[in-house]
Amino acid sequence: MRHVIIIGSGPAGYTAAIYAARASLKPLLIASSVEAGGELMKTTEVENYPGFAEGIQGPELMAQMLAQAEKFGTEVVYDDVVKLELEGDVKRVHLGNGDVHEALTVIFATGSAYRKLGIEDETRLSGHGVSWCATCDGFFFRQKTIAVVGGGDSAMEEATFLTKFADKVYVVHRKDELRASKAMQERAFADPKIEFLWNNEVKHIYGDELVTGIGIVNTVDGSERTIDLSGLFVAIGADPRTHLVHGQLELNPDGTVKVDGRSSRTNIPGVFAAGDVIDPTYRQAVTAAGSGTVAALDAEHYLAALPKETLARATAEPAAV
């Protein structure tokens, strides 16, 4: 049995692993079978992760985090968790290959998936003009024309933020009114760089290497229009990856896992959550990494408070059962 099993191989999971491994907890990290490395594997240049003054490619940053976690003794399994039994002193983690691993603590760091438009070329041009994160990528669009898709608070926040860089920001919204709060709407309406394209949906994204334009269709009269631009920010929400813990961990109304204050403690003792799966607001690599640190330290404190006999059970051979 393990002291700690970490689920997820994004910045939160790898950082939790670095801390847990350096605390001699010999963590097992379940990295996923096809999506190891998390969301940053889908991007190119990361310019806002501290320590890399020249920027770093997303996959290279994740390779460095993995190497650092392994260097201190983290064991990584490239499979998916398919079932969790979290109640009680011993947690059971079931993998797709049929193995079941046991641990005294679990750190749940499965991240969050940005909703996609679901149109052709969206994935191909991700990181080449299509983005889900204004904070991450706004800087690349200085003096450019761009569009934001969405009508909620985050779309308004992204559009307003992006006017710091772009010369022109279209907001493409499929309805004729916004879901965003009144205050956010008013800020966006007052911004001379923002133009609303009401009752429109993005149907095409154009560009070979980089985005060069979008095709939009009016939802009322069906008319089509092409807009030349360099960037498309998709701000239609994100879904925390929580299906494994439904009915076990308490969730917030927005779908994120509920934790106790600034800690990573969930409603089940010994189960901690970190990264974008608990964060509806900031969703950055560095905040996820910080959150992974909190989870590893919380797990360490939890283990330190366990009776010696319980703790001793985790020193046995850490093989799958």
Ligand X SMILES: Cc1cc2nc3c(=O)[nH]c(=O)nc-3n(C[C@H](O)[C@H](O)[C@H](O)COP(=O)(O)OP(=O)(O)OC[C@H]3O[C@@H](n4cnc5c(N)ncnc54)[C@H](O)[C@@H]3O)c2cc1C
Burial class for 29, CB neighbours closer than 10 Å (0-12, 13-18, 19+): buried
11 near ligand X, rule: CB under 6 A = yes
Shortest Å distance, C-beta 78 to ligand X = 9
Instruction: Count CB atoms within 10 A of the CB of residue 283.
Output: 20
30 near ligand X, rule: CB under 6 A = yes
284 near ligand X, rule: CB under 6 A = yes
Closer residue to ligand X in complex, CB, 174/283: 283
User: Which of 4, 88, 9 lies closest to 296 in space, CA to CA?
Assistant: 4
* Structure token digits, residue 176: 């004729």
Question: Applying CB under 6 A, which part among 37-45, 247-255, 265-273, 295-303 lies near ligand X?
Answer: 37-45
Separation between Cα atoms, residue 94 and residue 84, nearest integer Å = 6
Task: Indicate the SS3 state at residue 197.
Answer: strand
User: Of these residues, 89, 121, 133, 176, which one is catalytic?
Assistant: 133
Query: Could you give the angle at which helices 153-162 and 182-189 cross, rounded to 10 degrees?
Result: 30
Q: CB–CB of 9/32 below 8 Å?
A: yes
- The correct pick among 76, 93, 166, 244 for binding ligand X (CB under 6 A) is 244
- The correct pick among 1, 6, 81, 273 for binding ligand X (CB under 6 A) is 81
Tracing tokens 């860089």 back to the chain, one arrives at 165
- The correct pick among 8, 129, 138, 151 for binding ligand X (CB under 6 A) is 8
Q: CB–CB of 10/40 below 8 Å?
A: yes
39 near ligand X, rule: CB under 6 A = yes
141 near ligand X, rule: CB under 6 A = no
Q: CB–CB of 195/171 below 8 Å?
A: yes
Closer residue to ligand X in complex, CB, 2/178: 2
- The correct pick among 12, 56, 180, 273 for binding ligand X (CB under 6 A) is 12
132 near ligand X, rule: CB under 6 A = yes
Q: C-alpha angle 275/276/280, rounded to 5°?
A: 130
Question: Applying CB under 6 A, which part among 6-14, 142-150, 165-173, 304-312 lies near ligand X?
Answer: 6-14
Closer residue to ligand X in complex, CB, 178/214: 214
10 near ligand X, rule: CB under 6 A = yes
275 near ligand X, rule: CB under 6 A = yes
User: Of these residues, 136, 276, 279, 298, which one is catalytic?
Assistant: 136
Which residues, including other chains, have CB under 8 Å from residue 148's CB and lie 6 or more apart?
134, 155, 158, 159, 162, 169, 170, 171, 172, 233, 235
Q: What are phi and psi of 310, to 5 degrees?
A: -65, -45
Closer residue to ligand X in complex, CB, 30/147: 30
Catalytic status, residue 136: yes
129 near ligand X, rule: CB under 6 A = no
CA 51 to chain centre: 21
Separation between Cα atoms, residue 316 and residue 301, nearest integer Å = 20
Q: C-alpha angle 44/49/54, rounded to 5°?
A: 70
111 near ligand X, rule: CB under 6 A = yes
Binding site for ligand X (CB under 6 A): 7-13, 30, 32, 35-40, 42-43, 46, 48-49, 80-81, 109-111, 114, 126-127, 132-133, 136, 241, 244, 275-276, 283-286, 288
- Residues with active-site annotation: 133, 136-137
